[in-house]
Amino acid sequence: MIAKDLPWLEPQQALLRASYAAGRLAHAFLIHEARGAGGDVLASWAAQLVLCTDLAHAPCGACAGCRRAATSQHPDLMTLQLMDESRQIRIEQVRELSAELALTSHQGGYKVAIISPADALNRAAANALLKTLEEPTARTLLILVATQPSRLPATILSRCQKIRVRAPARSEAVAWLQSIRGPAEWGATLDVLGDAPLFALEADPKTVVEFARETRRILEETSGGRADPAATAERWWRTDLPLRLLCIENWLTDRIRRHFAGGAFSVEMSAPVHLQRAAQFPSIRNLFGIMDAVQDLKSSLDAPLNRALALEGLLRRLAAE
Ligand SMILES: [Zn+2]
């Protein structure tokens, strides 16, 4: 995926191109991206901008500089990512990066470092990075990509120029997905995955939509006491748990919305009807409680815990309504 394929990145590209042409390019950027909206694509494009050897048309996309940068094989481009199963970027990785940035470039031009996801820098790593940000060497470009920049220390944020990458409007995302992958239930796919066009691009829309429908059906049955939590949990924890949790989250959000909409509506009704209606809804406290349990499970997906048991507990709370 290259930046010219993502039309919603055009304003950000125009800004970077103009700053670069005017010799006013900041030495550090923070790309604050919406999930799956292309922050990494923009970072790679910015690297190509300064590593392109065709100055009049940078980034030309055709020269050796552009092509190597696009495939992360340029000797003056470093990328810091999560290693293996780790959820954090560690201080050793930042130290290595800083040492590399302090050297002169191989090609006599810019040196570029991309850190993504930058919100995975742990505290020690962020502090180590601060030194590099405070004393930048000439012609270095540091690009941080984060969906949750608030998790970074303010000292880091204040030293980066911010670029916001928002998800395109739903209709634009659907048109874009259709132009690349052809017609499918893209709207429904984005309903499940959130407005994250790049995630949708990688997904099989039919499978995602079907998966969400099945999850919804079984949750309704569970909440009505017509499905066995233990059997469901046993089936669910084995395959695609992250997507399942996303579907559960969507269903809960929908239930919570309906709860409030119903509450507002019932004010208009007489007290006995109100009570009768209220009894039909799961309690809002319980819904929020289950939502918390989903979040806990989501954030501990790589921890050694009994997922079947955690899922079963969650479903039992729903069945208890
Ligand atoms: Zn080029």
Q: Phi and psi for 281 in degrees, rounded to 5?
A: -90, 140
Distance 58 CA to ligand 1 centre (A): 6
Q: Please write the tens of the pLDDT for every residue from 309-319.
A: 899 999 999 88
Distance 318 CA to ligand 1 centre (A): 56
Q: Please write the tens of the pLDDT for every residue from 10-52.
A: 999 999 999 999 999 999 999 999 999 999 999 999 999 999 9
Distance 110 CA to ligand 1 centre (A): 13
Distance 82 CA to ligand 1 centre (A): 28
Residues 275-292, mean pLDDT to the nearest whole number: 72
Residues 87-109, mean pLDDT to the nearest whole number: 89
Lowest mean pLDDT: which of 152-166, 170-184, 250-264? 250-264
The pLDDT mean for the chain works out to 89
Nearest to 167 by CA among 150, 137, 190: 190
pLDDT of 182 > 70? The answer is yes
Q: How many CB atoms lie within 10 A of CB 252?
A: 20
Distance 17 CA to ligand 1 centre (A): 13
Per-chain residues with Cβ under 5 A from ion ligand 1: 52, 54, 60, 63, 66
Distance 116 CA to ligand 1 centre (A): 23
Q: Please write the tens of the pLDDT for every residue from 103-124.
A: 888 878 999 999 999 999 999 9
Residues 295-315, mean pLDDT to the nearest whole number: 84
Angstrom distance (rounded) from CA 286 to CA 222? 14
For residues 284-293, one letter each, b for 16 or more C-beta atoms within 10 angstroms of the residue's C-beta and e for the rest, the string is eeebeebbeb
Distance 98 CA to ligand 1 centre (A): 26
DSSP string, 87-115: SSB-HHHHHHHHHHHHSPPTTSS-EEEEE
Residues 210-229, mean pLDDT to the nearest whole number: 94
Residues 280-306, mean pLDDT to the nearest whole number: 81
For residues 208-222, one letter each, b for 16 or more C-beta atoms within 10 angstroms of the residue's C-beta and e for the rest, the string is bbebbeebeebbeeb
Distance 104 CA to ligand 1 centre (A): 21
Angstrom distance (rounded) from CA 49 to CA 25? 11
Distance 3 CA to ligand 1 centre (A): 14
**Residues pairing with 162 in the sheet:** 30
Distance 293 CA to ligand 1 centre (A): 49
CA 154 to chain centre: 21
Distance 64 CA to ligand 1 centre (A): 7
- Output 33 or 102, whichever has higher pLDDT: 33
Query: Are residues 36 and 199 in contact, defined by beta-carbon separation less than 8 angstroms?
Result: yes
Q: Please write the tens of the pLDDT for every residue from 241-269.
A: 999 999 999 999 999 888 888 765 444 44
Distance 70 CA to ligand 1 centre (A): 10
The model carries a pTM of: 0.84
Angstrom distance (rounded) from CA 162 to CA 168? 18
Distance 14 CA to ligand 1 centre (A): 16
